[in-house]
């Protein structure tokens, strides 16, 4: 699926970039051809003007006021012609041939005035020539017509070279574009691919987690339905079903929470929230619970209030998740500490315990969904491996950070950092 999409992306990228390149090259070539021909024509026109004035000089410089018609034939030595000129022809005002240089022309002028591209002489029929036919005036009097032709090679050869360059360069560039498209397609698909893989993993993990309690429910129900069953056994089965059902409900609640608050969260629900009052409420709730667990509980909170922009219930949930873990993974007789430190721009909430700790190798993964350091032990402790993922997601939504440090058999420290100043994003 991903390879197909990548191929599609690469194809459309190559097609669009290739089309742009082809159109651009076409325009460039046409522009270059037009430009070269224009300058070439200008040169030909200037040369023709010089030839025309030279002829006038010969005729009028001698003070012989004669028409071209009456003039003697001009010899090749009379006018020094440009070396590139293939032929030059003079015609009378009546368009009759008067003089010529080069190939023998028709006796009368039958081509149109102006520039024309014509086939070369019989000696080189494949050659293209540029021909200019222009009338020559003196004191508003038509003296005759001058026709000059030069080889078009100075225009054709560079254009041929440009065509060769484009012919080789374009396929190479198109291949490079296709390669780039494939590479970019891969880059673009990479986050989608990993998101898809994460989703697949999440679905697989969630299904796996739900399968075990479902199996327990089914087996307890089957056991309760078996004949003959004592009422006590039936009650036990129902109790088991009820407890597994509750745990499933918690798991589904967690999954729903993660799905609902994934990615974006409506910033309108954020409000100025006093962190200290949240922590004070948590302290009073947990004090007796921790005492019952035979855990020493320390709570170090500053006086007054510390305001952050956030959603109180979500923040409470994140802190409670950390505190629950501290209780769960600290053996009886241990210590759990809840602390709040205030900095000019930040507030740090620490949940510390003297419990079993987390191996260094597991630390980078513990905020991932369904990640458990010791699956069996965690399951026994009633964990799904979602508590830290939820806490992490909540703190990220609040633009904060959650950090962990731990030492095996020494304890763990989780630290939540929240911005005190109202962030412009909220
Ligand atoms: P669970 O619900 O399984 O506790 P969490 O996401 O809350 O899932 O935690 C992930 C894993 O990180 C746990 O399975 C546990 O192994 C480890 N862990 C979390 N907090 C602590 C802690 N305070 N002390 C030791 N291990 C912890």
More confident: 211 or 260: 211
Percent of all residues in the chain with a pLDDT value above 70, rounded to a whole number: 88
In angstroms, rounded to a whole number, what is the distance separating the alpha carbons of residues 291 and 10? 63
More confident: 304 or 377: 304
Listed range (54-63, 129-138, 160-169) with the worst mean pLDDT: 54-63
Task: State the average pLDDT over residues 165-185.
Answer: 91
Rounded to the nearest angstrom, the distance between the alpha carbon of 267 and the centre of ligand 1 is 29
Probe ligand 1: pick from 383, 409, 416, max atoms within 8 Å of CB? 383
Contact 348, 413 (CB under 8 A): no
Q: pLDDT tens digit string along 333-364?
A: 999 999 999 999 999 999 999 999 999 999 99
Q: Does residue 256 surpass a pLDDT of 50?
A: yes
More confident: 424 or 281: 281
DSSP secondary structure of 172-223: HHHHHHHHHHHHHHHHHHHHHHHHHHHHHHHHHHHHHHHHHHHHHHHHHHHH
For ligand 1, atom 8, which residue shows the shortest CA distance?
A: 385
Atom of ligand 1 at shortest range from CA of 369: 6
Atom of ligand 1 at shortest range from CA of 388: 6
Contact 394, 317 (CB under 8 A): yes
Listed range (21-35, 178-192, 273-287) with the worst mean pLDDT: 178-192
- Per-residue pLDDT, 114: 94
In angstroms, rounded to a whole number, what is the distance separating the alpha carbons of residues 237 and 225? 9
* Residue 227 pLDDT grade (very low, low, confident, very high; cuts 50, 70, 90): confident
Rounded to the nearest angstrom, the distance between the alpha carbon of 292 and the centre of ligand 1 is 21
Considering the entire predicted model, what is its pTM? Answer: 0.58
Rounded to the nearest angstrom, the distance between the alpha carbon of 183 and the centre of ligand 1 is 40
Residues within a 6 A CB radius of ligand 1: 325-326, 329, 353, 355-358, 366, 371-374, 378, 383-389, 412
Q: pLDDT tens digit string along 103-135?
A: 888 889 988 899 999 988 777 778 899 999 999
pLDDT mean across residues, the chain = 84
């Amino acid at each position: 699926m991903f390879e197909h999409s990548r191929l599609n992306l690469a194809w459309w990228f190559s097609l669009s970039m290739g089309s742009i390149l082809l159109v651009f090259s076409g325009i460039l070539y046409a522009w270059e051809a037009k430009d070269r021909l224009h300058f070439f024509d200008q040169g030909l026109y200037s040369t023709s003007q010089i030839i025309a004035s030279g002829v006038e000089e010969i005729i009028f410089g001698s003070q012989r006021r004669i028409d071209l018609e009456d003039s003697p034939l001009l010899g090749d030595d009379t006018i020094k012609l440009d070396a590139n000129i293939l032929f030059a022809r003079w015609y009378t005002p009546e368009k009759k041939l008067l003089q010529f240089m080069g190939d023998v022309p028709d006796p009368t002028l039958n081509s149109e005035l102006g520039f024309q591209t014509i086939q070369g002489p019989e000696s080189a029929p494949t050659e293209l020539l540029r021909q200019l036919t222009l009338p020559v005036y003196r004191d508003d009097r038509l003296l005759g017509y001058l026709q000059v032709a030069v080889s078009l090679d100075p225009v054709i050869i560079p254009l041929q070279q440009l065509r060769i360059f484009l012919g080789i360069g374009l396929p190479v560039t198109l291949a490079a574009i296709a390669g780039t498209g494939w590479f970019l397609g891969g880059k673009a698909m990479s986050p989608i691919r990993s998101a898809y893989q994460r989703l697949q993993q999440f679905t697989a993990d969630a299904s796996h987690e739900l399968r075990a309690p479902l199996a327990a429910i089914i087996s307890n129900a089957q056991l309760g339905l078996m004949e003959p069953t004592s009422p006590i056994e039936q009650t036990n089965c129902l109790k088991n079903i009820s407890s597994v059902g509750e745990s499933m409900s918690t798991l589904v609640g967690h999954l729903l929470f993660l799905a609902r608050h994934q990615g974006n969260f409506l910033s309108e629900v954020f409000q100025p929230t006093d962190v200290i009052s949240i922590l004070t409420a948590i302290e009073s709730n947990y004090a007796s619970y921790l005492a019952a667990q035979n855990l020493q509980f320390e709570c170090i909170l500053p006086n007054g209030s510390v305001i952050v922009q956030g959603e109180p219930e979500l923040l409470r949930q994140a802190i409670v998740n950390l505190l629950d873990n501290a209780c769960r993974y600290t053996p009886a007789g241990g210590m759990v500490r809840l602390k709040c430190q205030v900095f000019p721009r930040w507030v740090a909430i620490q949940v510390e315990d003297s419990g079993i700790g987390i191996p260094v190798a597991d630390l980078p993964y513990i905020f991932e969904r369904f990640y458990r350091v010791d699956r069996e032990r965690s399951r026994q402790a009633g964990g799904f491996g979602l508590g830290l993922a939820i806490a992490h997601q909540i703190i990220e939504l609040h633009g904060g950070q959650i950090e962990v440090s731990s030492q095996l058999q020494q304890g763990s420290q989780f630290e939540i950092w929240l911005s005190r100043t109202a962030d412009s994003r909220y």
